[in-house]
A and B are shown apart, each in its own frame.
Chain A
Amino acid sequence: MSQTLKQTPSQTVGPYFAYAWTPELYGRRPLATNRLAARDMPGEHIRIEGIVHDGEGTPIRDCVVEIWQAGADGKHAPGAAGFGRCGTDDAGRYFFDTVKPGSHGDGHAPHIAVTVFARGMLSHAFTRLHFSDEAAANAEDPVLATVPDDRRDTLIAQRAETPGGVVYRFDIHLQGERETVFFDC
């Protein structure tokens, strides 16, 4: 590196980000929403939903979950599902309406990159969502392979067929016995 500068330190989003990040309630145009997939987008349309919990299991209402994913063909391309952002509600719930991503073809199982921001988090936390119906691919996934067996299930979203469609349940625990695996990457 020719010139080395120091990284600007991270700070918490605080409790009052909603009118900037999810400003629909305030009559403003959002940059991104939790609805990533228009009806005609190719792929299996799914909902991802969950609750974000603190170390005592209490749902967190001032939290934002962001996701970044490939389209059903495994490509990151304009028009693919891409980027989503969702603030948790008063019960700590979030959801995304999207399509199930395909495999990148690089040995990684289909997955979604996830970041979590909240009041009380001075740095955001980075994790990764895998799919329960991809057992064979998950068994070969190089990232899941680095995670201790007894914690791997914190990264697996559980598929359910509901009258409204396919739902994957992905609860996030910032701390505690069921603490979600967070990555340094």
Chain B
Amino acid sequence: MDTAVREAEGDFGPRDWAQHPPYLSPLYKSTVLRSPRKPLIPMKQCLSVRTGPVFGHDSVDALDNDLTKNGRVNGEPVGERMIVTGRVLDENGRPVPHTLLEIWQANACGRYVHRWDQHDAPLDPNFFGAGRCITDAEGRYRFTTIKPGAYPWGNHHNAWRPAHIHFSLFGPSFLTRLVTQMYFPGDPLLPLDPIYNGVPEGARELLVSRFSIDVTEPVWALGYEFDIVLRGRQATPMEG
């Protein structure tokens, strides 16, 4: 693999644990045996983490940001067509340009293409559910896709995941790596979802996209906006 490399001009700020979910969140049962329990050890940043992979436009195929087209076999995928767009910024409010986003999601019926997904809902032969995109110079990305459906899971009695899209981002270093999920405004399943609720109160709302009539395209697709904020540079220490 011939990945370019970017080196940051200094340390990144810490992961803000007031924003991120703790490893142990017992209402989401899978965390019980998978959460590190010993305290994390603070690490001074060095070259191997200040740098990170940079994926060029050759990492992305022409249809990768259009999930309504990249899985087509013999027709349009079924469901509510939508555009998801937004900006990738850092904590300092600066755009994160030319960085890769990967997304994956269920189809309109709440079924993933994944070979383990046994949900009794139809697969859509014309929808694969995965895409990639690279942000432009202003940090903007844009996907065309189908609104995912809710689906049941085995966490607790009558457990249903709210409709969501998984987002994976790299940013400028190995430390800015983020995997998150985008949700939809007004979803009645949100207050019941232990994964969404794993995030500290007051921070959860950042995972909910905004419906936008300006992004919506007439006679074509509804528009949603979802901005993503990655770790920024370490603040300059105040002079004493």
Contacts and interface: CB of A to CB of B under 8 A. Distances in A.
Contacts of B163: none
A16 B34 CA distance: 17
B40 A182 contact: yes
Contact residues of A: prevailing secondary structure? loop
Identify which of A25, A31, A54 gathers the most chain B CB atoms within 10 Å of its CB. Answer: A31
A158 interface: no
A28 B204 CA distance: 33
B103 A20 contact: yes
B61 interface: yes
B157 interface: no
Contact of A7 (B116, B130, B179, B229): B229
Assign chain B's interface to a size class: 35 or more
Contact of A121 (B2, B34, B168): B34
**How would you classify the secondary structure of chain B's contact residues: helix, strand, loop or mixed?**
loop
A120 B37 contact: no
Interface string A93-136: 00000000000101010011101011111111110100000000
Interface string A1-25: 1111111111111111111110101
A143 to B, nearest CB: 6
Interface of B: 1-5, 7, 14-16, 19-23, 25, 28, 30-38, 40-49, 51-53, 55, 59, 61, 89-93, 100, 102-104, 106, 112-117, 128-130, 132, 166, 168, 174-175, 177-181, 195-196, 198-200, 203-204, 206-207, 227-233, 235
Given A55-B33, A180-B36, 10 more contacts: A9-B20, A10-B178, A11-B181, A12-B181, A17-B166, A19-B104, A122-B25, A181-B38, A182-B38, A182-B41
Interface of A: 1-21, 23, 25-26, 28-29, 31-33, 36, 54-56, 58, 60, 66, 68-70, 76-80, 82-84, 104, 106, 108, 111-113, 115, 117-126, 128, 142-143, 146-147, 151, 174-175, 179-185
20 contacts: A5-B89, A8-B180, A8-B228, A9-B20, A9-B200, A11-B195, A15-B114, A16-B116, A19-B113, A31-B55, A31-B59, A54-B33, A60-B34, A68-B49, A78-B5, A104-B46, A112-B48, A113-B48, A126-B43, A147-B41
